């Protein structure tokens, strides 16, 4: 076995095949992106209306993950420049927890991960502007473009560091309402 085979095998184990989704959660809209099983091309998928009362947006994301047999869903975590988290990060964490619960209830092994999304919306606006879209037209697709940025960032990190370096996995709920990350349940 030569060095190229060893390097390729290491890359394969650090980057397991499978479709991945990314979600940009906003106050009004949720943007979605998807990539192929080899993680080569993230593309815009759709924009959903935010629904904090019935969680229909969470249901749609979970359904997309199930229909595509996704292995991971990345939810953008909007940190402040200082690295601290504000109300938007709390909203993204809550969305990710509800999504992880919905996927667990559906019986899938799909992992939900939080990934730093600083500058993705700014970069999405910049890209759309340079593509010739007006500010009014941006609103329709900026959340999808931001989700593409989140997914590309996660894929780049995944290739460079493996799953552990990408983002924090959102704990899956366990039966009986006790979460796996509850300090009282650790041995």
Own/partner contacts of 59-68, CB < 8 Å, gap of 24 or more, are 59/102, 61/21, 61/23, 61/30, 61/32, 61/99, 62/99, 62/102, 62/103, 62/106, 64/21, 64/32, 64/34, 65/21, 65/103, 65/108, 65/110, 66/103, 66/106, 66/108, 66/110, 68/19, 68/21, 68/34
* Dist CA 171 CA 167 (whole Å): 12
Predicted pLDDT at 132: 56
* Residue scoring higher pLDDT (18 or 157): 18
Which of 1-15, 30-44, 143-157 ranks highest by mean pLDDT?
Answer: 30-44
Instruction: Work out the average pLDDT over 79-97.
Output: 85
| Phi, psi dihedrals of residue 107, rounded to the nearest 5° | 80, 20
* Residue scoring higher pLDDT (63 or 7): 63
- From the number of C-beta atoms within 10 Å of its C-beta (0-12, 13-18, 19+), residue 92 rates as buried
- What does the domain layout of the chain look like in residue ranges? 17-172
For the chain, the maximum distance between any two Cα atoms, rounded to a whole number of angstroms, is: 57
Lowest mean pLDDT among 20-34, 49-63, 166-180: 166-180
Which of these CATH numbers, 3.40.50.1820, 3.30.420.140, 3.90.79.10, 3.40.50.2300, describes 17-172? 3.30.420.140
State in Å, rounded, how far the first CA of the chain is from the last one.
41
Structure tokens at 119: 């500058």
Lowest mean pLDDT among 26-35, 99-108, 161-170, 174-183: 174-183
Per-residue pLDDT tens digits for 112-157:
999 887 655 545 445 545 555 555 555 566 688 889 989 988 888 8
Instruction: Work out the average pLDDT over 170-177.
Output: 62
Using pLDDT thresholds of 50, 70 and 90, give the confidence band for residue 111. very high
Global pTM value:
0.75
Q: How many other CB atoms are found less than 10 A from the CB of residue 158?
A: 23
Q: What is the mean pLDDT of the chain?
A: 77
* Dist CA 130 CA 155 (whole Å): 24
């Amino acid at each position: 076995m030569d060095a190229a085979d060893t390097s390729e095998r290491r890359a394969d184990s650090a980057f397991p095949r499978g479709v991945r989704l990314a979600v940009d959660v906003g106050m009004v809209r949720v943007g979605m992106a998807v990539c192929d099983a080899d993680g080569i091309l993230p593309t815009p998928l759709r924009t959903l209306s935010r629904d904090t009362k019935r969680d229909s947006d969470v249901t749609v994301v979970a359904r997309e993950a199930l229909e595509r047999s996704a292995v991971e869903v990345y939810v953008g975590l909007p940190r402040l420049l200082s690295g601290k988290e504000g109300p938007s990060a709390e909203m993204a964490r809550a969305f990710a927890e509800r999504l992880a619960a919905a996927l667990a209830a559906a019986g899938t092994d799909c992992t939900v991960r939080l990934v730093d999304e600083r500058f993705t919306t700014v970069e999405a606006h910049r890209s759309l502007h340079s593509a010739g879209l007006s500010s009014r037209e941006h609103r329709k697709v900026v959340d999808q473009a931001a989700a593409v940025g989140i997914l590309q960032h996660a894929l780049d990190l995944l290739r460079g560091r493996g799953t552990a370096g990408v983002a924090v996995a959102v704990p899956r709920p366990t039966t009986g309402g006790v979460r796996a990350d509850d300090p009282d349940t650790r041995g």
